[in-house]
Amino acid sequence: MPEIKVGLIGGGGIAGAHIRGYREHAERIGITAVADAVEETAVARGNELGATPYVDYRRMLETEDIDAVDICLPHHLHRDAIVAAAQAGKHILCEKPLCLTADEAAEVRKAVQDNGVTLMCAHNQLFLPAVAKAKELLEAGSIGTVYEVRTTDSFYNDFDPNSMGWRASSKTSGGGELIDTGYHPTYLLLHLAGGLPVEATAMLSTHRLKFMEGEDSAQVLIRFDNGVVGQLVTSWAYQPAPATERFSAVGELGSLTSNGSSLTYQLRSGETETFDLEPVDTFVAEIGHFADSLLGKTRPIHTEEEGIAVLGILLAAYEGARTKTIAPVLQIP
Ligand SMILES: NC(=O)c1ccc[n+]([C@@H]2O[C@H](COP(=O)([O-])OP(=O)(O)OC[C@H]3O[C@@H](n4cnc5c(N)ncnc54)[C@H](O)[C@@H]3O)[C@@H](O)[C@H]2O)c1
């Protein structure tokens, strides 16, 4: 038996990536039960993992001797699953987005705090070595006071109306591409900016996936309380131009830029260095970090607090786009 027993909630596409992580860290953390509303999926994942299958995750929470859950559900189901797991005293790893509205976020925070459990947001791209190196350089003051941060996460997505499922509808996804793939460059921006988001706006577009209710592309501007201004571009409609950075930051002494695998910083003094970093499976690193946090009783890199800050940015961006204004990031009690 692993030291930490996990109940997987939702055994679809992304669960496969998480499972690679549990296999890699099998002695410390492993899935011993799995719940999926589609019985065939629950049974198939159960067989694959040697885990007990359930079609109702609430039943799993009542019955199974588990320490934590891993929530891999469609977006509109995250809040209920987090609250149920917290009330059952289970620690939580939750896929992005944390939840969909300010009211849901307040409920999530309360449930986690009242029940004294740990919630880690599954923000896997934080585990890219280039991101960790950039954070280290920024915190060491290598480029001085940071003025701007940019992030990009765009790709040509060949979704069609038949393959999109719950992602095609705003009710179940919470919006469009921005709250889905766009969630990644948002948490990355938050992480690198190092402040709290104050206001945001967006231009949303539907360039190609016309059958979606929400946007297929977004450009977002965000101001943070430490003076950093962030810009992000995200799309399912197109590949970015070849030289587009994955992320960059500019400060008083110089800048740093990354394509996601290597990282270069360049100072106005002429000093420059490029780090070519070994690729890692970010999902494997994420599951290892979840285990480290629970066993070492240390704070995960992103908890519900950063999840709420990311959601705050996205809600303000959507509001700014809707009203053609710069919208404040709502403070969630
Ligand atoms: N980090 C990443 O790069 C990344 C990539 C893809 C998806 N995701 C996130 O993972 C989550 C799931 O996405 P996915 O692509 O795996 O979706 P999916 O549709 O492939 O899987 C969702 C699973 O949940 C099950 N389900 C639905 N309702 C349920 C319920 N009430 N109880 C139990 N099971 C239920 C479905 O049967 C399905 O098996 C989303 O939050 C998504 O944004 C993250």
| CATH for 138 | 3.30.360.10
Query: What global pTM score does this model have?
Result: 0.97
Cα–Cα distance for residue pair 68/255, rounded to 1 Å: 40
Select from 256, 238, 235 the least CA-distant residue to 247. 256
Nearest CA to 225 out of 193, 187, 195 is that of 195
Ligand 1 site, residue 74, Cβ cutoff 6 A: yes
Residues 185, 292, single domain; the answer is no
Instruction: Pick the atom of ligand 1 nearest to 183's CA.
Output: 43
- Looking at residue 159, its pLDDT comes to 86
Query: Ligand 1 in contact with 164 (CB < 6 A)?
Result: no
Domain that holds residue 249: 125-279+311-328
Phi and psi at residue 151, to the nearest 5°: -135, 150
* Spacing, Cα 273 to ligand 1 middle (Å): 40
Q: How far apart are the CA of 9 and the centre of ligand 1, in A?
A: 9
Cβ(18) – ligand 1 distance below 6 Å: no
Residue 164 has a pLDDT of 86
Residue 85's pLDDT is what?
A: 98
In terms of domains, do 137 and 240 share one? yes
The reply to whether 333 falls in a domain is no
Is residue 254 lining ligand 1, measured as CB closer than 6 Å? no
| 200 within some domain | yes
**Pairing assessment for the beta strands 29-35 and 52-54 based on DSSP bridges:** parallel
pLDDT at site 168: 87
174 & 186 share domain: yes
Ligand 1 pocket, 190 CB below 6 A? no
> Which atom of ligand 1 is least distant from the CA of 55?
33
Ligand 1 contact, 116 CB (< 6 A): no
- What type of residue is 201? T
Residue 305 located in a structural domain? no
β strands within the chain, DSSP E: 4-9, 29-35, 52-54, 68-71, 91-94, 119-121, 146-154, 197-205, 217-224, 229-235, 247-251, 254-258, 262-267, 272-276, 327-328
> CATH number, domain at 71?
3.40.50.720
Ligand 1 nearest atom to the CA of residue 42, by list position: 39
Mark whether 16 and 87 lie in a shared domain: yes
Taking 50 as the pLDDT cut, the residues of the chain under it are none
Q: What is the pLDDT of residues 14-30, one digit of tens each?
A: 999 999 999 999 999 99
Considering the domain architecture, whether residues 83 and 143 belong to the same structural domain is answered as no
Centre of ligand 1 from the C-alpha of residue 233, in Å: 24
| CA 167 / ligand 1 centre spacing (Å) | 10
238 and 176 within one domain: yes
Residues 230 and 295 in one domain: no
Whole-number Å distance, alpha carbon 80 to ligand 1 midpoint, is: 14
Residues 158 and 99 in one domain: no
Hey, whose CA ends up nearest to atom 4 of ligand 1? 14
57 lines ligand 1 (CB under 6 A): yes
Tell me, using a 6 A CB cutoff, whether residue 36 lines ligand 1.
yes
Say if ligand 1 is within 6 A of residue 13 CB. yes
Q: Is residue 306 part of a domain?
A: no
Pick the atom of ligand 1 nearest to 41's CA. Answer: 39
The tens digit of pLDDT for each residue in 55-94 reads 999 999 999 999 999 999 999 999 999 999 999 999 999 9
For a mutational test of ligand 1's pocket, the pick from 20, 73, 94, 96, i.e. the residue with the most ligand atoms closer than 8 A to its C-beta, is: 73
- 59 and 178 share one domain: no
Is 91 inside any structural domain? Answer: yes
Total domains in the chain come to 2
Cβ of 265 closer than 6 Å to ligand 1, yes or no, is no
Beta carbon of 79 within 6 Å of any ligand 1 atom: no
How many residues would you count in the chain?
333
* pLDDT score for 83: 98
Phi, psi for 19 (deg, rounded to 5): -60, -35
Does the Cβ of 180 fall within 6 Å of ligand 1? yes
Instruction: Tell me, in angstroms, the distance from the centre of ligand 1 to residue 63's CA.
Output: 23
- Specify whether the CB–CB gap between 187 and 121 falls below 8 A: yes
In a domain, 36, yes or no: yes
